[in-house]
């Protein structure tokens, strides 16, 4: 007898109607009655669950089946029947139901509403709920969409290192990677830890960004992207920060800030459209139970052009607004979260690129503009999530870059290779970083980053 998945049954119903099949899955809900009952069975192949109908005069073990609980695993044998007048399109009339693995009555996941906080404490089980089933399917589909978007356009996927010798990229606190004895590390004569005795013969950390290495590849392959894990040891306690997250970092040569923004906008729209097309059941569920505006908002985003304003214009908009802010608005200070939210949610009402920030508040590698005060940087702000993307045109002029590195105390020894990229055919190039989880939050309407990561790592929390 053919073992079929729920996804096959839903996608190819006509092929299976009237057929005897086997389905394996887990009970979401069992509603037994006197002489018959219904099991909602989920096998993970599709967001939707399958209804199993079982009857007393069809099953030898009717009493046993009627007593099975949520979470138990089953092998179900039966006939596929279309049910056009019912809530579900098809069901299985069981001829045999075998218990594959029982699930005792203290199973934490019950067919009722649970809080997201509780489910985080049982992260090993929460993927069996509708919400997390939807979120993690979308995460998988979106990851594939990212690859497809770049691959279709001829980008090379580069695996930049996870362990880095650089500790001065300015992107946040880093996690030390070491094999030294934490209790009794070897010391230099003047009493400091002697990292020359460490595994790599030097101090090493987990990467906070693959950008610098991606630049090296962009200057060989033209268009590249990274997509991998990133680590920040920042003591951030917010719904938008995790210690371990995935970042997408494209880098394009012979290109400036304008091309960079065009790429960012196209990528965001592509991923949104792809997920809406490939995960309609999941998106409908999220639209109904998480955020009623979700689909409307995403459709709008996918069809409208993103706004573009300069930092200087943003300051003017904020200064002219009647809104009162907790933090003062003045040229030269970075935009606060409240300012960013006002811009994207109230003043403009859609995603907006803010460009050309003052040099002093941005990273050393961003290209200085002709005004001598600003750099060719861009942040993409989106309603609800805030900063989704940060990018820039990179400083390709060796003398300018060296000057910025010296001014900002970036080690020329450690990053000599980075400077050398400018010396040997260093054309203008640009790139950006997207927090993959923030993209998923935006797509799924989920407001906490811990709920879009299978097993999240945050300050003081590394369970599972």
Partner RNA sequence: UCCUCGAUAGCUCAACGGUAGAGCAUCCGGCUGUUAACCGGAGGGUUGUAGGUUCGAAUCCUACUCGAGGAGCCA
Per CB under 7 A, does 120 bind RNA? yes
Size of the site for RNA (CB under 7 A): 71
Contact call for residues 153 and 225 (beta carbons, < 8 A): no
Q: Which range in 142-150, 180-188, 190-198, 435-443 contacts RNA by CB under 7 A?
A: 435-443
Please identify which residue in 3, 17, 102, 111 interacts with RNA, judged by CB under 7 A.
Answer: 111
- Smallest gap, in angstroms, from Cβ of residue 196 to RNA? 30
Is 462 an interacting residue with respect to RNA (CB under 7 A)? no
Options 7, 8, 20, 53; binder of RNA; rule CB under 7 A: 53
Q: How far is the CB of 194 from RNA (least distance, A)?
A: 28
Kindly list the strands in the beta sheet with 429-435, ordered across the sheet, starting from the edge strand earlier in the chain: 156-157, 223-231, 244-253, 429-435, 386-394, 374-382, 352-358, 307-310
Scan residues 227-286 and list those touching RNA (CB under 7 A). Answer: 232, 234-243, 245, 247
CA 274 – CA 150 distance, rounded (Å): 13
When asked if residue 389 is in the footprint of RNA (CB under 7 A), the reply is yes
Of 44, 222, 390, 403, the one binding RNA by CB under 7 A: 390
- Report the C-alpha gap between 45 and 26 in whole angstroms: 12
Using CA atoms of 363, 367, 368, 371 in order, give the dihedral in degrees to the nearest 10.
Answer: -120
Nearer to RNA by C-beta: 220 or 462? 462
User: Can you tell me the distance from the alpha carbon of 331 to that of 144, in angstroms, rounded to the nearest whole number?
Assistant: 41
Phi first, then psi: give them for residue 219, nearest 5 degrees: -85, 10
3-state secondary structure of 355: strand
Q: How far is the CB of 380 from RNA (least distance, A)?
A: 8
**Per-residue tokens: 356:** 């050309």
Task: Note whether 184 binds RNA by CB under 7 A.
Answer: no
Among 89, 407, 461, 464, binds RNA (CB under 7 A): 461
Q: Which is nearer to RNA, 56 or 402 (CB)?
A: 56
- Rounded alpha-carbon distances, angstroms, from residue 60 to 56, 66, 192: 8, 12, 75
Of 259 and 387, the one with the shorter C-beta distance to RNA is 387
* Interaction mask 23-42, RNA, x per CB under 7 A: ------x-xxxxxx-x-x--
The answer to whether 208 and 244 are in contact (CB under 8 A) is no
Q: Which of residues 66-105 bind RNA (CB under 7 A)?
A: 67, 69-70, 83, 86-88, 91, 93, 105
At its nearest, how many Å lie between RNA and the CB of residue 71?
9
Would you give the binding string for RNA spanning residues 124-163, x where CB under 7 A is met?
----------------------------------------
Query: Whole-angstrom Cα distance, residue 370 to residue 373?
Result: 8
Please check whether residue 444 is in contact with residue 134, taking contact to mean a CB–CB distance below 8 angstroms. yes
Beta partners for residue 204, in sequence order? 177
Environment class of 216 (CB within 10 Å of its CB; exposed 0-12, middle 13-18, buried 19+): middle
Among residue numbers 302 through 331, which ones bind RNA (CB under 7 A)? 327
**Helical H runs in 290-397?**
294-303, 311-320, 337-341
DSSP string covering 29-70, please?
EEEE-SSEEEEEEE-SSSSS-EEEEEETTT-TTHHHHHT--T
Which residues on neighbouring strands pair with residue 378, listed in sequence order?
Answer: 355, 391
d(CA 2, CA 19): 9
Residue in 222, 358, 386, 403 binding RNA, rule: CB under 7 A:
386
Q: How far is the CB of 246 from RNA (least distance, A)?
A: 8
Q: Which is nearer to RNA, 12 or 334 (CB)?
A: 334
Find the shortest distance in angstroms from Cβ 186 to RNA.
Answer: 28
Interaction between residue 117 and RNA (CB under 7 A): yes
Shortest Å distance, C-beta 256 to RNA: 19
For residues 231 and 64, give the distance between their C-alpha atoms in angstroms, rounded to a whole number: 49
- Candidate ranges 136-144, 277-285, 407-415, 446-454; the one touching RNA (CB under 7 A): 446-454
Q: Judged by CB under 7 A, which stretch of 117-125, 133-141, 184-192, 344-352 contacts RNA?
A: 117-125
Nearer to RNA, 192 or 237 (CB): 237
Tokens in use for 208?
A: 């906070």
Asked whether position 215 contacts RNA by CB under 7 A, the answer is no
Dihedral (C-alpha) 344, 347, 350, 352: value to the nearest 10 degrees? -60
Minimum separation from the CB atom of position 191 to RNA (A): 26
CB of 429 to RNA, least distance (A): 17
298 closest CA partner among 279, 318, 316? 279
Measured from the CB atom, the residue of 123 and 180 that comes closer to RNA is 123
**Least separation, in Å, of the C-beta of 141 and RNA?**
20
Examine residue 384 and tell whether it contacts RNA (CB under 7 A): no
Give whichever of 309 and 452 is closer to RNA, judged by the CB atom: 452
d(CA 52, CA 25): 11
Q: How far is the CB of 11 from RNA (least distance, A)?
A: 20
Taking CB under 7 A as the criterion, the residue among 351, 383, 426, 433 binding RNA is 433
């Amino acid at each position: 007898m053919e073992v079929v998945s729920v996804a096959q049954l839903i996608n190819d119903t006509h092929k299976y109607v009237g057929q005897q099949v086997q389905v394996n899955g887990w009970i979401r809900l069992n509603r037994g009655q006197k002489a018959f009952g219904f099991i909602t069975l989920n096998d993970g192949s599709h967001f939707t669950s399958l209804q199993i109908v079982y009857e007393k005069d069809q099953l030898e073990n009717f009493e046993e089946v009627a007593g099975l609980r949520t979470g138990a695993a089953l092998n179900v044998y039966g006939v596929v029947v279309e049910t056009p007048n019912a809530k579900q399109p098809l069901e299985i009339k069981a001829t045999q139901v075998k218990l594959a693995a029982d699930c005792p009555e203290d199973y934490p996941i019950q067919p009722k509403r649970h809080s997201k906080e509780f489910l985080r404490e049982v992260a090993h089980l929460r993927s069996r709920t509708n919400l997390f089933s939807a979120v993690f399917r979308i995460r998988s589909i979106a990851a594939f969409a990212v690859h497809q978007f770049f691959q279709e356009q001829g980008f090379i996927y580069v695996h930049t290192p996870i362990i880095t010798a650089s500790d001065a990229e300015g992107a946040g606190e880093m996690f030390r990677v070491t094999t030294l004895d934490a209790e009794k590390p070897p010391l230099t004569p003047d009493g400091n830890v002697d990292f020359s005795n460490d595994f790599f013969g030097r101090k090493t950390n987990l990467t906070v960004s693959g950008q610098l290495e991606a630049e090296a590849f962009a200057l060989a392959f033209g268009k590249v992207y990274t997509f991998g894990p990133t680590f920040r040891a920042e003591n951030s306690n917010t719904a938008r920060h995790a210690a371990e997250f995935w970042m997408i970092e494209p880098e394009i040569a012979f290109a400036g800030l304008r091309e960079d923004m065009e790429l960012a906008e196209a990528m965001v729209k592509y991923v949104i459209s792809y997920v809406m097309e490939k995960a309609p059941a999941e998106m409908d569920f999220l639209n109904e139970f998480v955020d009623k505006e979700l689909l409307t908002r995403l459709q709008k985003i996918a069809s409208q052009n993103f706004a573009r304003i300069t930092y200087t214009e943003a300051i003017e908009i904020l200064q002219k607004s009647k809104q009162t802010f907790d933090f003062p608005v003045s040229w030269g200070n970075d935009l606060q979260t409240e300012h960013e939210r006002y811009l994207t949610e109230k003043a403009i009402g859609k995603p907006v690129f803010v460009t050309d920030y003052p040099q002093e508040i941005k990273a050393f590698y961003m290209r200085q503009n002709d005004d001598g005060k600003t750099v060719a940087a861009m942040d993409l702000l989106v309603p609800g999530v805030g900063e989704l993307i940060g990018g820039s045109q990179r400083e390709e002029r060796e003398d300018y870059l060296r000057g910025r590195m010296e001014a900002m105390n970036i080690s020329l020894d450690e990053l000599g290779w980075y400077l050398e990229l400018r010396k040997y055919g260093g054309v203008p190039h640009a790139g950006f970083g997207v927090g993959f989880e923030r993209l998923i939050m935006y797509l799924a309407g989920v407001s906490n980053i811990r709920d879009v990561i299978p097993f999240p790592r945050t300050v003081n929390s590394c369970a599972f």
